[in-house]
Amino acid sequence: MRDTQSPRAPAASAPPPRPPQSPALLDPDFLRKLDLLEVLFKRNVVGRREGDRPGHQRGGRTEFAEHREYTPGDDLRYLDWNIYGRTDRLFVKEFTKQEAVLACVLLDASASMGLGQPRKLEYAKRLAAALAYLAGVGGNEALLGAFQGPSVAWSPRFAGRPDLQGLAAFLEPIQPAGPTDLLAALRALRERVHERSLVILISDLLEEGGGRRGLRLLGSQRFDLSVLHVLSPQELHPPAIGPVRLRDSEADTAEDLAVDADALRLYADRLNAFCEGWRAFCQRHDIRFIETSSAAPFEECVLGYLRRGGLVR
Amino acid sequence: MTLLQPLGLLALAAVPVLVALSLWRWRRREVIVSSLLLWRDVAAAWRHAPHARRRRQLDPLLILRVAVALALAGALCAPVLLRAARATRRLIVVLDRSASMATRRPDGLTRWRAARDELLKLLVQLDAADRVEFATVPPLADRAIGAERGPRDAASLILTLEPSDAAAEPADLRRAALEAQARQPAARVLVVTDAPVPGLPPGVALLATGAPARNLGITTFAARPYPDGRTEVLIAVANASPAAAAAQVALRADGRELGRRRVDVAGAATARVIFEARPAAAAVLEARLDGADDLPVDDRAWLARRSERLRIAWVGDECYYLRRALAVQDGVEVVELPAPPDAAVPDGFDLALYYRAAPRRLAAGSLVVVAPGAPVGALRPGPLAEAAPASVVARRDPLMAAVRLEGLALGRVPRPALPGGFETLATAGDVPLIGRWRDGAATVVYVGVDPASSAWPLDPSFPIFWANVVASAARQGQQAGSFGCSRPGQAVAIRAGPEAALIEPGGDRRPLTADALRPERAGLYRVVSGAQETPVAVSLLSESETRAAAAEARPPAAFLAATGGTATAADAVATWRLGGWLALLGLGLVLLHGGLSARARQRV
């Protein structure tokens, strides 16, 4: 598996191709609303660095946890002399160690994400930026990864209130290309991230590989998993366009058929079954599963869907 | 439909090009989807679907493109819809406005009103493009209505018309119908009257609205003064009904009643009443029938005293009978001229009478030529032949009023070559006996019968005819004689100053702007000039109007069905130019195509 800093990064000599006109990743008004939210981490998430989130490990000096009877060897600096004065017994104060946990946002940048009106990838980029910002605002760390096929481009870790320019510098050059390989991307994440962190996968999930296998793998290692399923309105409600050759955006395969009312009924059945399968899988493995359309208003998605899905509060 | 620009059809060549392009595009039409993951089963189902479903379906956009091409090609051809199947119908209505049209029918309507209603029903069935023309008999005195107009205007016009008090002969209606037919051979002519009109040619329909009437009317009113101051007044009362009737006849002089008689009139007969009165210096005599009937206008008649004598110039041989017939006319002065004058009617005379003589040339004035023996203007007397039994043709003409020639032996009469516009009043077989024509400003009455060599002077119709001649000359010229009257619709010459005014029978007063008066209404008119007031009596005195019988009506709908369309080249007028509409349709289809294709692109 190949790690690249920026998939399909523009060559130094050529001017970077302008992405399609899209709204700014995060506008100031929306940021003010985001400041009122925070990412919800499950208890099993463990941070490696000291931060603002109360952790499971004892230690630190700021967050009081409980008193414990003195045993030889304890640090005398934590003896509670007030209790000793009242009870002639020695107790030491114990503190909970505060930690900063990691939120990994794994962004599907395959060719299929470049379709739709609005484009799914643009929508997904804004979601990724919002989630990274929310993680940073909560005193945690954020890590962004964009995958195309087996290769994943990683951003630097953003700690604390994130640098919006840094986020934009990573996200904006990303262009859709290549096939979708969820298993490879999740394996790459597992190799790169060693602590139990929050993993948010943003994808259209349109692949036949081992996406579910990868998620089961991370789940077994007590990662906190969330899946944001983004589809375009054209995928949710395709029009009857008559006889046509449908070509797969990621594979060199095509199907001839007539997209008529009968075909659309069958397509709707398949789509429902597909989504229902993912819903059931995620529920079974304690994975948050949030569905949205690239045509849904972005603020409504973040402030509504993500809150209802239990990813932010 | 006609194409003004047939070359525009070349634009239809775009249709196969469009279809070919569309098929070519269809073959290569490819849509990229995110993944075939969800479509694979759909495609498999389609592959295994029945053949009918897998057939190529028509692209709605292709249909729209073809429709746009057809619409634009149609617009380029500039098609026009011609009104070919339904041509303009032209209808000429000859409308009888005579006095009898005011006769009330048993249903309460007047014959005029019934005719008007029937005409309106007829006009409603015409199309807006149809044309209607009117001719009235007698003609309207104050305006011309001969122009063609649409049915709506025609209906408006009919509502403004009223019957006059004048008399009209069936011959007048027939003549008007013939003239209309000759003027517009493609038109259908409809004669609207109340009485039968014999001799109508094919293609001329009759709409008669007459009905049996209960009417008594004064048909003769004449006064003859005697030197001893007495005046003999003759009043004839005609009964139009087949049942006998009675009425009171009153005679008035200047509004004062001189006498009153009961008159009993047998069915369809005429009764005479003679009054002997002493009206002294009365200016106006009035006869009045008491009691209501279906036609009021003939229940009263007036005579006005003539203020001057009528001067007649006699040219030619002596004729005892003729001289006697003129001598009994009151207020007539006959002056015999020793030699033919230079002018047909010499100065100072109201009428010139040529007996066995002819004027050198015709000039302005009224003249009567009796057995001329030489050409008179364009009239050439022919060889003499034994006359067939005579008959009066124009009974309603004032010259022939109360004149009966039937059964008279008139001896030998010439067969003349007639001038243009000759109006035959009486005939002997097919030989014109009495007639009239105009030559410039001259009005000539021709009498082919020689009184000296026929039995006519022995018949009462002889003095009656010459009395009519004198009365007619008096009406056309000056008031002369003792008592006389004019007929409605005839011109009355008036001698009055520039400030003269006319007081109508109803009392309305208006300035008199012309030297001639052509009153449409019967009654007593008064011409006021300074301190002098001259009465002008206008009386109907028409037996034919009083007796106007009912004719069988022909429903207008049947007439209209028979009329049909009379298409002429001029009628084939383009009614709709479709080019603009087609261009507009094409533009609309282009916009629709743009919207649909953009929507399709957006969805895909």
Parse chain B into domains and list their residue ranges.
2-83+575-603, 90-213+548-571, 216-306+485-545, 310-481
Residue B84, pLDDT score = 52
Ranking B186-200, B302-316, B366-380 by mean pLDDT, the lowest is B302-316
With 90 as the cut, is the pLDDT of residue B384 above it? no
- The CATH topology of domain B216-306+485-545 is Immunoglobulin-like (2.60.40)
pLDDT in tens, B20-30: 887 776 665 78
Q: Any idea which of B78-87, B251-260, B535-544 has the lowest mean pLDDT?
A: B78-87
pLDDT reported for residue B486: 81
Q: How confident is the model at residue B348 (pLDDT cuts 50, 70, 90)?
A: low
pTM equals 0.43
Block residue for tokens 């989807």? B33
For residue B26, the model assigns a pLDDT of 65
Beta bridge partners of B40: none
pLDDT, one tens digit for every residue, chain A (313 residues): 333 333 343 333 333 344 444 456 777 788 887 777 777 776 666 666 655 555 555 555 666 677 888 888 888 888 888 888 898 888 888 776 666 788 899 999 999 999 998 899 999 999 999 888 888 877 788 899 999 988 999 999 888 777 778 888 899 999 999 999 999 999 999 999 888 888 999 999 998 868 899 999 998 888 889 999 999 999 999 988 777 889 999 988 998 888 888 889 999 999 999 999 999 999 999 899 999 999 988 888 888 878 887 777 7
Is the CB of B46 inside 8 Å of chain A's CB atoms?
Answer: yes
Q: Please give the domain boundaries of chain A with CATH numbers for all domains.
A: 24-46+101-308 (3.40.50.410), 53-99 (no CATH)
User: Tens digits of per-residue pLDDT, B179-218?
Assistant: 888 888 888 888 888 888 888 887 788 888 877 888 999 9
Strands lying side by side in the sheet with B483-484: B256-265, B245-253, B284-289, B300-305, B483-484
Q: What pairing do the DSSP bridges indicate for beta strands B231-239 and B216-225?
A: antiparallel
Joined tokens for residue A126: 């804004």
Where are any strands of DSSP class E within B266-299? 270-277, 284-289
In this predicted structure, what is the pLDDT of residue B554?
Answer: 54
Residue B600: what pLDDT? Answer: 67
For B116-167, how does the pLDDT look when each residue is reduced to its tens digit (9 = 90+)? 988 888 888 888 888 899 999 888 877 777 788 888 899 999 999 999 999 8
Residues of chain A in contact with residue B34, where contact means CB-CB under 8 angstroms, are 112-113, 115-116, 120, 204, 206, 232, 235, 249-250
Count CA atoms within 13 Å of residue A105 on its CB side: 30
From the number of C-beta atoms within 10 Å of its C-beta (0-12, 13-18, 19+), residue A185 rates as: buried
Residue B532, pLDDT above cutoff 80: no
Element containing residue B553 per DSSP (H, E): none
Query: Rounded CA gap, B542 and B398, in Å?
Result: 9
Better-predicted residue by pLDDT, A204 or B87: A204
> How many Å apart are CA B174 and CA B180, to the nearest integer?
10
Give the model's confidence band at B273: pLDDT under 50 very low, under 70 low, under 90 confident, else very high.
very high
B184: exposed, middle or buried (Cβ count in 10 Å: 0-12, 13-18, 19+): middle
B 446-505 → A contacts, CB under 8 A = none
Instruction: Give CA–CA dist B22/A136, Å, rounded.
Output: 55
Is the confidence at residue B603, as pLDDT, over 60?
no
Q: Which residues of A touch chain B, with CB atoms under 8 Å apart?
A: 112-113, 115-117, 120, 180, 204, 206-208, 232, 234-235, 238-239, 241-251, 253-258, 260, 262-263, 266-267, 270-271, 274
- Tell me, what's the pLDDT at B188? 85
Cβ within 8 Å, pair B42-A257: yes
Residue A61's pLDDT is 61
B558–A contact, CB cutoff 8 A? no
Average the pLDDT over B502-519 and give the result.
Answer: 81
Q: With 60 as the cut, is the pLDDT of residue B567 above it?
A: no
Task: Using CB atoms, pick whichever of A208, A242, A246 lies closest to residue B39.
Answer: A246
> Could you tell me which residue, B337 or A62, shows the higher pLDDT?
B337
Q: Is B57 in Cβ contact with A260 (below 8 Å)?
A: yes
Predicted pLDDT of residue B514: 67
- Residue B274 burial (C-beta neighbours within 10 Å; 0-12, 13-18, 19+): exposed
Helix or strand or coil: residue B7? helix
Q: Is the pLDDT of residue B562 over 70?
A: no
Better-scored residue on pLDDT, B556 or A72: A72
Specify whether the CB–CB gap between A209 and A180 falls below 8 A. yes
With contacts defined as CB-CB under 8 Å, which chain A residues touch B602? Answer: 117
Mean pLDDT along residues B554-561: 54
Mean of the per-residue pLDDT values of chain B: 82
Residue A177: closest C-alpha in chain B: B34
State whether B54 and A258 contact (CB < 8 Å). yes
Q: Quick one: fold of B90-213+548-571?
A: Rossmann fold (3.40.50)
Please report the pLDDT score of residue A227 as a whole number.
Answer: 93
> Nearest CA to B104 among B489, B550, B506?
B550
The runs of H, that is alpha helices, within B477-573 are: 543-546, 556-563
Interface contact B49-A262, CB threshold 8 A: yes
Rounded to the nearest angstrom, the gap between the alpha carbon of residue B445 and the centroid of all alpha carbons in its chain is 25
Distance from CA of B557 to the nearest CA of A (A): 60
For residue B139, how many other CB atoms are within 10 A of its CB? 17
Q: Tell me if A208 and B37 make a contact (CB, 8 A cut-off).
A: yes
Residue keyed to tokens 């090609």: B73
Nearest to B36 among A204, A244, A255 (CB): A255
Nearest CA in chain B to A263: B42
pLDDT for the residue A236: 93
Angle between helix A261-284 and B40-47 (nearest 10): 150
B310-481 CATH fold:
Rossmann fold (3.40.50)
Contact B603 A234 (CB under 8 A): yes
Among B151, B94, B148, B90, CA closest to B126: B151
Which residues have C-beta within 8 Å of that of residue B399, sequence separation ≥ 6?
Answer: B425, B434, B436, B445, B465, B468, B469, B472
Measure CB to CB from residue B35 to each of A238, A242, A250 and give the nearest one: A250
Which range, of A300-304, B103-107, B278-282, averages the lowest pLDDT? B278-282
B90-213+548-571 and B216-306+485-545: same fold?
no
Pairs of residues, one from chain A and one from chain B, whose beta carbons lie less than 8 Å apart: 105
